[in-house]
């Protein structure tokens, strides 16, 4: 077999939110002779929109653009998937047998969703009221289930792994509950947030505001409960109590599942991974802890911050500045401070905007109390953020 070999200045593994953002900003600087994105997918999704798609506000197609249309000017795209990292010889091997050597490597392939880890989920997802906003294929089933709901128990789960956007599992619950009120069936429904976590949110100020909402609206929260199996046909879900180990079976009319997630398999088995499988990077400089010419960011990285596109918006300039410093033999002085953000959509038309760092400090943008539900913040989530994403971040303008 003839091996297809390439040699590039900068190789970016993963052309998603992080990969395109970094490539677009780097290309504008015109410092490196070649920048290449290695990305297997023909399409890219603005995943934050899936919360609103699942609530019937947008069709799923509005979250999608062709990858070819997003590849920044001056950047090459190899449509293939990384399979093996050989960092000692600055080389990546792909699934179709390409061999790509690089001078600098940026790794950002996002997260893998472990649908298989919940027994019975794959077989039933999208039918029998078993739904999830966590994939393009299943997101419209969420709206179908909410729209068709008449009475009974609506369950919303949160797994015992890190996930994309910690607020998304409860966002869809608030929207569903609000919809049940709008169509006058709320008295016939029980809405339950069944979470493997300890509380509704990790930052006290937002948790306090959310707990008031849960209480006022009669939403039941049930913590330390990890969904382990679903019987779609009989509409039953089994949860394991993470403290006692006891299992509880709950009947449901609909269940929105946030599945367990982790770093992709090809990262977990690679020399780039830490003991938990994430790309092992320094939390300030974003440089790999073993291989200095490798950087990482985004959902697959070892950063302990909550995994969001908003976090990537702050990680990307730090990574770029440090990559350029390395290229110029200067010290790496740029520091990521762990910023992340999560719009909590508490109703149709209302949002609380959580912004915080990995030490739990609030880092709010606006000069008002962001833990209050506001229609201005909903407008920001629904109309402004998508625009800032497609026209700002992905074009290297933020």
- For residue 110, state whether it binds ligand FAD (rule: CB under 6 A): yes
Q: Which of 6, 153, 164, 350 binds ligand FAD (CB under 6 A)?
A: 164
- For residue 39, state whether it binds ligand FAD (rule: CB under 6 A): yes
Q: Tell me the residue number closest to ligand FAD, measured at CB.
A: 16
- Within 326-345, the residues that bind ligand FAD by CB under 6 A are 342-343
The closest of 216, 271, 282 to 92, measured between CA atoms, is: 271
Q: What is the DSSP code string of 150-179?
A: -SEEEEEEE-SS--BSTTHHHHHHHHHHHH
Decide whether 75 or 250 has the Cβ nearer to ligand FAD. 75
Least distance from C-beta 313 to ligand FAD, angstroms? 8
Decide whether 302 or 308 has the Cβ nearer to ligand FAD. 308
The closest of 161, 157, 131 to 55, measured between CA atoms, is: 131
For residue 43, the cross-strand partners are 66
CA 201/CA 246 separation, integer angstroms:
24
Least distance from C-beta 145 to ligand FAD, angstroms? 15
Least distance from C-beta 299 to ligand FAD, angstroms? 4
Q: What is the DSSP code string of 35-55?
A: EEEE---SEEE-GGGHHHHHT
**Site stretch for ligand FAD (CB under 6 A), options 175-183, 309-317, 328-336, 355-363:** 309-317
Decide whether 197 or 298 has the Cβ nearer to ligand FAD. 298
- With residues binned 3-state (H G I as helix, E B as strand, rest as coil), the percentages for the chain, rounded to 5, are 30, 30, 40
| Binding mask of the shown chain, residues 116 to 145, with x at each position contacting ligand FAD by CB under 6 A | -----------------xx-----------
Instruction: Return the structure tokens found at 323.
Output: 């990559």
Least distance from C-beta 180 to ligand FAD, angstroms? 20
Q: Which of 72, 109, 159, 396 binds ligand FAD (CB under 6 A)?
A: 109
Q: Which of 6, 240, 288, 307 binds ligand FAD (CB under 6 A)?
A: 307
CB < 8 Å & 24+ apart, contacts of 376-384: 377/343, 377/350, 377/351, 377/352, 377/353, 378/345, 378/349, 378/350, 378/351, 380/343, 380/351, 380/353, 381/48, 381/52, 381/343, 381/345, 381/351, 381/353, 382/52, 382/57
- For residue 108, state whether it binds ligand FAD (rule: CB under 6 A): yes
Instruction: Return the structure tokens found at 295.
Output: 């950087």
Residues that bind ligand FAD (CB under 6 A): 13-19, 38-41, 47-48, 50-51, 81-82, 108-110, 133-134, 164-165, 168, 264, 266, 298-300, 307-310, 312, 342-343
Q: Which residues are catalytic?
A: 165, 342
């Amino acid at each position: 077999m003839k091996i297809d070999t390439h040699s590039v200045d900068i190789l970016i593994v993963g052309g998603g939110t992080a990969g395109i953002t970094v490539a677009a900003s780097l290309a504008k600087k015109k410092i490196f002779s070649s920048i290449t994105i290695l990305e297997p997918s023909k399409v890219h999704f603005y995943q934050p929109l899936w919360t609103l798609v699942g609530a019937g506000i947008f069709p799923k197609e509005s979250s999608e653009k062709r990858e070819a249309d997003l590849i920044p000017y001056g950047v090459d795209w190899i449509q293939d998937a990384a399979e093996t990292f050989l960092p000692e010889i600055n080389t990546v091997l792909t699934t179709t047998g390409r061999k790509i050597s690089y001078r600098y490597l940026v790794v950002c392939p996002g997260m893998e969703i472990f649908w298989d880890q919940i027994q019975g989920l794959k077989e039933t997802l999208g039918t029998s009221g078993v739904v999830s906003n966590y994939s393009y294929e299943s997101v419209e089933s969420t709206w179908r289930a909410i729209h068709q709901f008449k009475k009974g128990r609506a369950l919303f789960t949160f797994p015992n792994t890190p996930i994309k956007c910690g607020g998304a599992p409860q966002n869809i619950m608030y929207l569903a509950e609000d919809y049940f009120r709008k169509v006058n069936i709320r008295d016939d429904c029980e809405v339950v947030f069944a979470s493997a976590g300890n509380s509704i949110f990790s930052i006290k100020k937002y948790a306090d505001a959310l707990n008031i909402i849960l209480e006022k609206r009669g939403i039941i929260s049930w913590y330390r409960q990890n969904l382990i199996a679903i019987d779609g046909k009989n509409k039953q879900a089994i949860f394991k109590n993470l403290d006692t180990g006891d299992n509880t079976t709950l009947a449901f009319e609909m269940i929105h599942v946030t599945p367990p997630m982790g770093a992709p398999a090809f990262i977990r088995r690679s020399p780039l991974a830490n003991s938990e499988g994430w790309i092992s990077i320094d939390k300030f400089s974003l440089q790999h802890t073993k291989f200095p010419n490798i950087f990482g960011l985004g959902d697959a990285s070892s950063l302990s911050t909550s995994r969001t596109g908003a976090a990537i918006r702050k990680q990307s300039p730090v990574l770029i500045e440090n990559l350029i410093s390395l290229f110029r033999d200067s010290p790496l002085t740029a520091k990521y401070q762990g910023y992340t953000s999560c719009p909590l959509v508490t109703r149709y038309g209302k949002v609380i905007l959580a912004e915080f760092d990995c030490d739990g400090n609030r880092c709010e943008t606006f000069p008002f109390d962001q833990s209050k539900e506001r229609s201005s913040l909903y407008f920001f989530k629904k109309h402004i953020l998508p625009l800032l994403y497609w026209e700002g971040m992905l074009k290297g303008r933020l």
